[in-house]
Amino acid sequence: MEDLSAPTGREPGLTAVPRPDGRSPRALVVGATGYIGGRLVPRLLTAGYTVRVLARDPARVTAFSWGDRVEVVTGNATDADAVARAVDDVDVLYYLVHGMAAGKGFADADRRAARTVADAAESARVGRIVYLGGLHPEGAALSAHLRSRVEVGDIFLAGGVPALVLQAGVVIGSGSASFEMVRHLTEVLPYMPAPKWVRNRIQPIAVRDVLHYLLGAARVAPGVSRAVDIGGPDVLRYGQMMNGYAKEAGLRQRPIAALPVLTPRLASLWVALVTPIPAVIARPLVESLQNECVVKDHDIDTLLPPPDRGLTSYRDAVRLALARVETDTVETSWADAQVLAVPSDPLPNDPEWARRAVFTDARTAHTSASADALWRVIEGIGGDNGWYSSPLLWTIRGWMDRLVGGIGLARGRRSRTRLGVGDALDFWRVEAIEPGRMLRLRAEMKVPGLAWLELRASPEDEGARYDQRAVFFPRGLAGRLYWFAVLPFHGFVFAGMARRIAAAAVGAPAPAR
């Protein structure tokens, strides 16, 4: 299916220019599993680049449809040895990471990573660095996250490699955090009490236009090293963005009242309450709206021509994003790109459990359906499909998580039918998947310990067997008390879940052909 939300990479001015020896130029993408990076990589490949990615978890890369077409260097941007390997023989380096959800110390981590990459790129004589930064007014007091993004851009500009820093504001596209915030605020609230920043002017940009500029940046003249603003054709107030969404979604216009008492912290908690965006992500988004963010000049037009079709209007960007949501073809999502909990080690093998405290809940059920039918139910679990047991208890657990600053159930899932390693699934994340056989989820809700849920489908002589195992490694006394507090509910939740998944497999639809 042709992508509705971005250039293909075949457009004139976006295709790769071969090296003097005739080989394809090499692009390194740092942040390839993120929201923008996951869309940029396939377009670089289509444009004729040889692509290398730097990733902490190679399994996250292989989960993408393009994962087998790129070279993977394992490591992160603060690992000098890994970065040195990654930048070797690279023509253009895309830096698409930042510490939005990294918590305290994110600015130091961003600074350290940027300097590591900039130094390695200079040593390897990389031709160009392209960084996607944040649109901001000059001379204004900026939020900590926006200051950090500006600082990262300055580090690249001060280095020995020509850098192009593209400064974008609110990015509108299916699965983007900004789009999801607008969408859910508008759909959930018939009346919107909002902070005073709802009256600030901002200049959103469609994700397809961001990708156009990123692709074109690789072909900017070698001597250019500077920051430039990019934005869409519309300058709007945030309230106008919400009502523009309402028009495209067929909803009534929403009355909006600006309240001076809502601080960024309170506003982010309010956003976290009524949207899937957790407070740790909502706060930097809200803080970025404290100032008017409008493109100061159009110098970008002297470096890169706009798309042949013209820049995408806000309403058109919303329409394209809604089409992706409605057809279940969202390419990447903010939820899949952000690991909100501290990454845990993969689930240890059973013999290793002797070295630590562990609690388990194991269930088995049998079904007359085939193992393939059972797997389709397993792979479709969560999101709108639910968890096949006591919706009330799952809902209560989700709200409890939101109340203590967790992500709750509202995050849902990117696709209604497909899962890959790294995908977000309500308050779980896919840690491992063996198609047709096993799905392992790691908990990202707030719990005093580490938790996993593993679901398996196995063929039998007459049907299939369903195995379900919940594993919890408690942290201290609080973890043990937590497990025993929820133990009485396991009979309702986990036992019912096993029975209903096995029963649902009998009526599972045939796979699409």
pLDDT at 14: 86
Q: Does residue 346 register a pLDDT over 70? A: no
Q: Work out the angle at residue 249's Cα, subtended by the Cα atoms of residues 247 and 251, and round it to the nearest 5 degrees.
A: 65
pLDDT at 438: 94
Clarify whether residues 361 and 332 are in a common domain. no
Q: Does residue 510 register a pLDDT over 70? A: no
- Quick one: which of 340, 321, 330 has its CA closest to 281? 340
Mean predicted confidence (pLDDT) in 163-192: 89
Residue 173 near residue 179, CB atoms below 8 Å:
yes
23-47: per-residue pLDDT in tens? 999 999 999 999 999 999 999 999 9
Higher-confidence residue of 333 and 441: namely 441
Q: Is residue 7 part of a domain?
A: no
Q: Is residue 176 part of a domain?
A: yes
pLDDT at 455: 95
Last residue of a domain, which of 305, 337, 369?
A: 337
Q: Is residue 10 part of a domain?
A: no
Q: Does residue 368 register a pLDDT over 80? A: yes
pLDDT at 509: 58
Last residue of a domain, which of 279, 305, 337?
A: 337
How many other β-carbons are positioned within 10 Å of the β-carbon of residue 330? Answer: 20
Clarify whether residues 435 and 375 are in a common domain. yes
Show the tokens assigned to 3: 């992508």
409-450: per-residue pLDDT in tens? 777 788 888 888 888 888 899 988 999 999 999 988 888 888
What type of residue is 364? T
Task: Output the average pLDDT for the chain.
Answer: 86
Q: How many residues does the chain have?
A: 513
Clarify whether residues 199 and 61 are in a common domain. yes
Clarify whether residues 377 and 435 are in a common domain. yes
Clarify whether residues 149 and 114 are in a common domain. yes
DSSP element (H, E) containing 183? helix 177-188
Helix/strand/coil (H/E/C) assignment for every residue in 266-334 = HHHHHHHHHCCCCHHHHHHHHHCCCCCECCCCCCHHHHCCCCCCCCCCHHHHHHHHHHHHHCCCCCCCH
Clarify whether residues 223 and 320 are in a common domain. yes
pLDDT at 344: 41
Q: Which of 129-133, 245-249, 329-333 has the lowest mean pLDDT?
A: 329-333
Q: Is residue 410 part of a domain?
A: yes
Q: Is residue 9 part of a domain?
A: no
What type of residue is 35? Y
pLDDT at 18: 92
* Distance, CA of 113 to CA of 135 (rounded, Å): 21
First to last CA, the chain: 15
Clarify whether residues 399 and 307 are in a common domain. no
Q: Is residue 14 part of a domain?
A: no
Clarify whether residues 252 and 109 are in a common domain. yes
Helices 177-188 and 264-274: crossing angle, nearest 10°? 70
- Give the residue numbers spanning the domain of 185: 26-337
pLDDT band with cut points at 50, 70 and 90 for residue 511: very low
Clarify whether residues 274 and 382 are in a common domain. no
Q: Give me the CATH number covering residue 475.
A: 3.30.530.20
Clarify whether residues 257 and 173 are in a common domain. yes
Last residue of a domain, which of 312, 337, 362?
A: 337
249-303: per-residue pLDDT in tens? 998 888 877 776 667 777 777 777 777 777 777 888 888 777 888 999 899 999 9
pLDDT band with cut points at 50, 70 and 90 for residue 360: confident
Higher-confidence residue of 208 and 288: namely 208
Clarify whether residues 325 and 400 are in a common domain. no
457-495: per-residue pLDDT in tens? 999 989 999 999 999 988 878 888 888 888 888 878 898
Beta-bridge mates of residue 163:
129
CA distances from 230 to 213, 234, 245, 386, 486 (A): 8, 12, 22, 40, 50
How many structural domains comprise the chain? 2
List b or e across 347-373, with b for residues whose CB sees 16 or more CB atoms inside 10 angstroms: beeeeeeeeeebbebebebebebbbeb
Show the tokens assigned to 293: 């963010």
Q: Is residue 497 part of a domain?
A: yes
3-state DSSP call for residue 130? strand
Higher-confidence residue of 104 and 227: namely 227
* Rounded percentage of the chain residues whose pLDDT exceeds 90: 48
Alpha helices (H) in 371-471, listed in sequence order: 371-379, 391-403
* Distance, CA of 298 to CA of 461 (rounded, Å): 68
Q: Is residue 5 part of a domain?
A: no
> Dihedrals φ, ψ of 311, to 5°?
-70, 150
Clarify whether residues 320 and 363 are in a common domain. no
Burial of residue 448 (CB within 10 Å: 0-12, 13-18, 19+) is middle
Q: Give me the CATH number covering residue 317.
A: 3.40.50.720
